[in-house]
Amino acid sequence: MTGSISTSWLLPSPTNSKSFSTSKSISFPLTTNPRRSPDRFPSRSPSPSLQIRAGIRELRERIDTVKNTQKITEAMKLVAAARVRRAQEAVINCRPFTETLVGILHSINQCAQLEDIDFPLSNVRPVKRVALVVVTGDKGLCGGFNNAVIKKANVRVDELKQRGIECVVVSVGKKGNAYFSRRDDVEVDKCIEGGGVYPTAKEAQVIADDVFSLFVSEEVDKVELVYTKFVSLVKSDPVIHTLLPLTMKGESCDVEGVCVDAMEDEMFRLTSKDGKLSVERRKVEVERPEISPLMQFEQDPVQILDAMMPLYLNSQILRALQESLASELASRMSAMSNATDNAVELKKSLTVAYNRERQAKITGELLEIVAGAEALRGT
């Protein structure tokens, strides 16, 4: 692809004086990103030639601006990479506990239902009103992370409305709070903002208390958790997880009955190699909890469920917060990496344009000097 630089200087002059104008046009090759070449997208027409209309001073200022932006994006990338490692380890360490706890709770709940024991949090009522706990991020500059989870929540809200089911939203995160507060067609029960750098059990407790009160008071018949599940550093999926009531199945399932728990979790771990960040692949096996159906409980199952339900709610919500944070940091690291690469390419293009403009100006001045010398020699 060929780009061109066209520069012109027009010096206004008073009446009865000669006007001086100079116009120059320079063409130069531009390096293109091979990942965005027209060969990969045959349906798209090649982009037109890049037109940069600026002088030497403007080009120099723009190069300095791009350099400063590159430093900022590089710093944000390194900060996100340092934080995502800790968030990733928290997600991986939390999953076995939460999955085992869910399996035990469902086994106890199954025994209680077989013995006709009434437990409020396991009563499956006709669904007339659903509470959606939507977990988003507190900051931007993370690609399409926030948009993906908000879009997932909107699709679920529209689906419930088409079935004639009312919906109430419990928003977690500043981005989700700002979005749902502007929508008049969605009822918002509560907006919660994260207070620390990493999710804590105290923050999960606040959300769990609100969800517990909504379900026990029968204001809602079902509670669903909408968050972004962390798969790897380059992939994250927004999922919907049924939080209440407890189902007979011993797995965490979405609204379509598909398990969202990672039975064989494939993770990517950040490492440092030759002074640079690199990614290596590891597989972490997660065993399914197996509970014997012949197990007998010394205490009443209702007492056991009453003691374990707060732990269940806190662990599930804390896991969702941790998965969402890890996905947000991984998305921010990827976005800042792409921004840094784009800044490097833009700086190269501007540097080429600056050098050619400077060379053209020098050449023009030399030609004027030679022309003036020849004119003097001719006289």
Question: Residue 94 catalytic?
Answer: no
Instruction: Please state, as a whole number, how many other Cβ atoms lie within 10 Å of the Cβ of residue 243.
Output: 21
Question: Which residue of the set 94, 111, 142, 167 is catalytic?
Answer: 142
- Positions marked active-site: 142
